[in-house]
Chains A and B, each alone.
Chain A
Amino acid sequence: MTLKHENLNTCTGCVAPLVAKLVIDSAEHVVASIATGCLEVASTKYPNTAWPIPTIHSAFGNSAATISGMEIAYNVLKKKGMKEDVKFVVFAGDGGTYDIGLQALSGALERGHNFVYVVLDNGGYMNTGGQRSSASPLGSSTSTTPAGKTRFRKDLTKIAAAHNIPYVAQASTFDLEDLKMKLKKALEVKGPALVNVLTACPRFWRVEPINLRKVVQLAADTCFWSSFEIENGKTKINYVPETKVPVEEFVKIQGRFKNISKEQIQMLQDKIDADWAWLNKEQ
């Protein structure tokens, strides 16, 4: 099942609905809690809805807490005779996850609810006009860091993994089969799971539509966004580029990096190299 196109107002080239579709198709009964953000606003304009599954939007930072209540309600109803096997999924952007929703997410992961948290990470507050979030990369111009961000991005995937939950993965739309496999696994494990998905934003990454595919390919080939999973504490790298491309190639096709300095590119490269080395050691 896909989100109903006639009720969907996402930008041309937006991959968020595709990620949602992959989730919806991965189980029979899926219920979603969506955080305020692009996907929510673009899919739930009253009196219509694009969602073919039961969906709730409460606020910005509380989607993980909302689903906690839903999952516990389900556990109680199950004891009282409810038949359906229900899967619980959160869709939230990086703003709703790395920033305002981090506490609610951490609480829900620690409590061990049986749910999947899908992060649609496009590196900023795109729904409000492309402001900086703690997922915005170093050197990226946003509407609140016009000269370029001076801090590295937060490593949410590692933060999630530090909760010692059964499944954490990083993926992107670069490899849909890999993404599908990870979402399915996340839905199947018992306990909390988080899949952090890099979702290219044509609007605020300032990428030519023709380069949309290339940009996620480069995110993978530069190891800016490595594809890996941590299953019950075991790390597995899912994609190893034949040749690790310099991060400059990823940076130069995106208008958001127009103000990045040579030093910052080097800083990005050093960070990527260190992260990649860490990941290989973990595996």
Chain B
Amino acid sequence: MQNRKAMNGMSAAVEALRQIDPEVIAAYPITPATGIPEGYSKILAEGKVTGELITVESEHSALSACVGAAACGVRTATATASQGLAYMFEVLGVASGLRLPMLMYIGNRALSAPINIHCDHSDSMAARDQGWLQFYCENAQEVYDLSFIALRLAEEVKLPVMVCMDGFITTHTYEPVEVLDDKKIKHFVGSYNSKVNLFDFKKPITLGHFAMPDSYFEFKEGQEKAMELALKRYEVLQKKFSKIRDKEYPAVARYKVSQADYVIVTNSSTAGLVKDVVNKLREDGFKVGCLKIRMFRPFPHKDVVDALKNAKGVAVLDRSMSFGSMPPMFSEIKNCFFGNIQSYVFGLGGRDIFEEDIKDVFRKMEKKDYSEKIRYIK
């Protein structure tokens, strides 16, 4: 039975949180993610959930409280964006280093300076090497569905996870979302049996050791192994989820890629625009496709190689920079695709991108117009 509701990315996240019902949520207001703790506080006041909300005094404390709660063996979640994520930075590595699963929603937003509240991916991309699993959602439906898969994945491989959505574009835009019934979700997420539990007084643990050069290295190796495992387990979990959703969420989503000469690789809401342009150009007989990177950490290189094996040209559209080097997503694709490839940066600080821009990217590939430098769509 379908249950279709009008939701934006934030209310989709809140609905997922209602169904997951984590014990502890700690969050601090920040545009454009504030609707998540606000929405949660409402369902909490209405008695629809059994957890608690900690309205902390900063994002640093939000994530710290999540670490404390997760160390007690409970499910925990938070939401933030931009400066908030930057402020959490120190604790990001603590959460992953302590191998504590937790769910964090990101309303992707540009970083200061200058201050800007609109969408780009500078925030979560800057955090890409902090040991968190990362998913980028195209729309509110993906935010809702991926919440459950991401949470289970995090718990299976004992790593924290970020579920990212485009600030305003996805966080604030209402669209139809198909909500699954509570029983199905409860069955899918199950109960969480953490091996880490500070409330085990029979076997008291010390969490967060001081590690010397003779042991630190192995901790980091363990985190990488968990990432490798996450690649495999994600596929299993998303397949399992597809049984209740009738839809698959592969790590990289191929849209008319297999027969395409030219492929645009991008992520998040912009994939929607690219797919729309692909449909229009296909009508004119232009063989183009879109590859959407849904899972960025761990990065599914093998899937990308396979998806792009017939492509004559590839353009990667990044919504963030890696100053002094090539943009984050481009670097990953370049790392595994050895044909014609072009880097584009678009949408910084919420700058719009249009159909014509996408068409131009495809046209340039057709004309074999490639540059070693970043091209800006602005």
Interface residues of A (CB under 8 A from B): 29, 31, 33, 40-41, 44-47, 49, 51-59, 61-62, 64-77, 79-80, 82, 84, 86, 103-104, 106-108, 110-111
Contact = CB atoms under 8 A, between A and B. Distances in A.
A72 B24 contact: yes
A73 B68 contact: yes
Nearest to B52: A72
B322 interface: no
B193 interface: no
B54 A68 contact: yes
Interface stretch (B110-118, B120-128, B152-160, B200-208): B200-208
The 6 closest A-B pairs by CB, nearest first: A69-B68, A107-B57, A69-B65, A65-B61, A65-B64, A57-B208
A72 B69 contact: yes
Contact of B50 (A55, A59, A80, A103): A80
A57 B71 CA distance: 10
Contacts, number: 162
B354 interface: no
Contacts of A55: 198, 204-207
A108 B62 CA distance: 11
B352 to A, nearest CB: 38
A149 to B, nearest CB: 27
Interface string B354-377: 000000000000000000000000
A75 B54 CA distance: 12
A68 B184 CA distance: 32
A61 B67 CA distance: 14
A55 B198 CA distance: 7
Contact of B64 (A29, A49, A54, A62): A62
A73 B197 CA distance: 11
Contact of B74 (A51, A73, A84): A73
A74 B199 contact: yes
Interface residues of B, number: 44
24 contacts: A40-B210, A45-B209, A45-B212, A54-B201, A54-B204, A57-B208, A57-B209, A57-B210, A58-B68, A58-B98, A59-B91, A62-B61, A65-B62, A66-B64, A66-B65, A68-B64, A69-B26, A69-B54, A69-B64, A69-B67, A73-B74, A77-B74, A79-B50, A103-B60
A258 B318 CA distance: 59
Contact of A47 (B50, B60, B209): B209
A86 B209 contact: no
A104 B56 CA distance: 9
A44 B90 CA distance: 20
Interface string B192-233: 000000111100111111111001000000000000000000
A76 B61 contact: no
A235 to B, nearest CB: 27
B210 A72 contact: no
Given A77-B72, A111-B55, A58 B67 contact: yes
Nearest to B219: A46
Given A40-B210, A67-B68, 14 more contacts: A29-B201, A46-B215, A54-B205, A57-B207, A58-B67, A59-B64, A68-B65, A70-B68, A72-B52, A73-B23, A103-B58, A103-B61, A106-B57, A107-B58
Interface centre among B72, B205, B215 (most CB of A within 10 A): B72
Given A59-B90, A107-B57, A41 B210 contact: yes
A41 B209 CA distance: 8
Contacts of B204: 51-55
